[in-house]
A and B are shown apart, each in its own frame.
Chain A
Amino acid sequence: MKSFKNHLSLIMAIVTILFSLQIFTITERAIDAYESNLKENYSIVVVSEKKISQKTFQQMHPLIKKSELISADHVLKNIKLQMKQTNIKLLKTALPKFYRIHLSKFPSPDQIDAITNAIKEHVGVTRVESFENSHNTTYKLLLLFKQVVLVLAIFIFVVTSLLMLKEMRIWQFQHTERMSIMALFGAPVWLRSAVLFRLAVIDALLATLIACIVFVGMVNYGWIESELDVIGIHITIFDLFNDGLSMLMLALGLSLFLATMIVLGHKEEV
């Protein structure tokens, strides 16, 4: 029973760390998906008297991914009804070219300024509309969200580090006497440490299994996915193969690190 309790305390510590890792991964994925959504929906409108090719636009700034010409019909559709067909034809020929510019990533306000200035410098460009105000608000919100996640990650790191330290002390207390007794009868270091490493591997496997079961259950329940769907974010909450493997690697790495520290820190009692 005592041995089970000892196992449980380490397993729970590892499960907490794995849980934190996966929650952080989910948050990162959600932010990335949201940023990607913003990038898709965001564009800069350019008005130019001369035709500008996509290649020319791309040469203006590295963030410019593609450009599309907005059809004159689209520009004129609101005033079409009140004008004669011949006037519309005349107006079409006189109208400047309208371009919608798509970027390769969601830009910062400084990058928008740089892109706007680069486009403005081109001969024939009369106006560049970057919708700066609404963009800035969204960008600042995203930045805030990222910082909150970062603070949360640091907090989790500190807490889990303390948990690990506590576990290390418990393990040291539990295993020092046995390792000393084994040393008195001439056991080599690998044999003295074998029990410790076996326990470390077993606990890591059990902790990974528990964490995987919880996250698979969470995916099946579907609550988080439906909440994210509402804001248009579609992400993988838990990928049993990739995320499970990352969890296993982290759990094994942590517990083996713990065991190694105990073995290295072990001094024979005199």
Chain B
Amino acid sequence: MDKVIYAHNLSLAYNDRETIINDTSFSIESGSFVFITGASGSGKSTLLKSFYGAITPKRGDLIVGGVELSDIAPKKLNLLRRHLGIVFQNYRLVNEWSIEKNVMLPLIISGYSKEVSTSQVEKLLRHVKLSHQTGKYPQELSGGEQQRVAMARALSHNPILILADEPTGNLDDYSSQVIWNLLQGANLQLKTTVVVVTHNIPKTLNLEYKHFHLENGVLNEVL
């Protein structure tokens, strides 16, 4: 199976301060569903950020979607990010844009036509059961609904990899289940690789997944 993420002796640090991820090696196969767990402050989110190039490796190799991320040029990084779907705990929607425009953002960036983008957005809003909320702005929606908009945005451009940082951290049980179902659906139906950073792995998932645990700056697979 192809590796969508490959890390070899990877070390990560903010500026020149203390190293957060220390000399770790791992790989994530294409089409897999992966959980990364670890204690608070263990560096889970930092590791996830390195996958979309927000943090450059201090040492070692990190290859995502076939692109080496050490010393990557901004133009190349932009191209890589157009194939990623990112979901955050705090949703990170553009508040002054309608939910349709938020979902459309990756499509606009990737250069899809207006007709294709509009039809894709309609389809996704139906998929996340928000078609009755069209025309509204993020702040008019509940937390669960905002995260569904963020999910629709992450799925809109058929990414090769979805990176989710505590996607249910701010949600109630019902909304959390909706988000897990959406991530599961993307993985099973679209064969999209999903990497989720979380504290707790949900017990209701009906799929095979891999579990990595981060401790003392080293990522190990939990078998």
Which residues in A have some Cβ–Cβ distance to B below 8 Å?
2-3, 177-178, 181-189, 191, 268-270
Contact = CB atoms under 8 A, between A and B. Distances in A.
Contact of B49 (A189, A191, A270): A270
B105 A181 contact: yes
A9 B97 CA distance: 20
A185 B92 CA distance: 12
B109 A182 contact: yes
Nearest to B106: A185
A270 B96 contact: no
A208 B74 CA distance: 37
Contacts of A189: 74
A181 B96 contact: no
16 contacts: A177-B92, A181-B94, A181-B105, A182-B109, A183-B81, A184-B54, A184-B86, A184-B92, A185-B81, A185-B86, A185-B105, A185-B106, A187-B78, A188-B75, A188-B78, A270-B55
B14 A182 contact: no
A186 B80 contact: yes
A191 B92 contact: no
A31 to B, nearest CB: 47
A6 to B, nearest CB: 9
Contact of B14 (A181, A186, A269, A270): A270
Nearest to B156: A185
A270 B54 contact: yes
Given A177-B94, A270-B55, A185 B109 contact: yes
Interface residues of B, number: 26
B81 A184 contact: yes
B100 to A, nearest CB: 15
Contacts of A269: 54
Contacts of B78: 183, 186-188
B99 to A, nearest CB: 14
Contacts of A182: 105, 109
Interface string B78-96: 1111101010000011101
Interface in B82-134: 82, 84, 86, 92-94, 96-97, 105-106, 108-110
Contacts of B106: 185-186
Contacts of A177: 92, 94
B201 to A, nearest CB: 25
A191 B108 CA distance: 10
B144 to A, nearest CB: 20
B212 interface: no
A58 B63 CA distance: 84
B180 interface: no
B137 to A, nearest CB: 10
A211 B81 CA distance: 44
The residue among B75, B84, B92, B109 with the most chain A CB atoms within 10 A of its own CB is: B109
The residue among A181, A184, A185, A269 with the most chain B CB atoms within 10 A of its own CB is: A185
Contacts of A270: 14, 49, 54-55
B52 interface: yes
B49 A186 contact: no
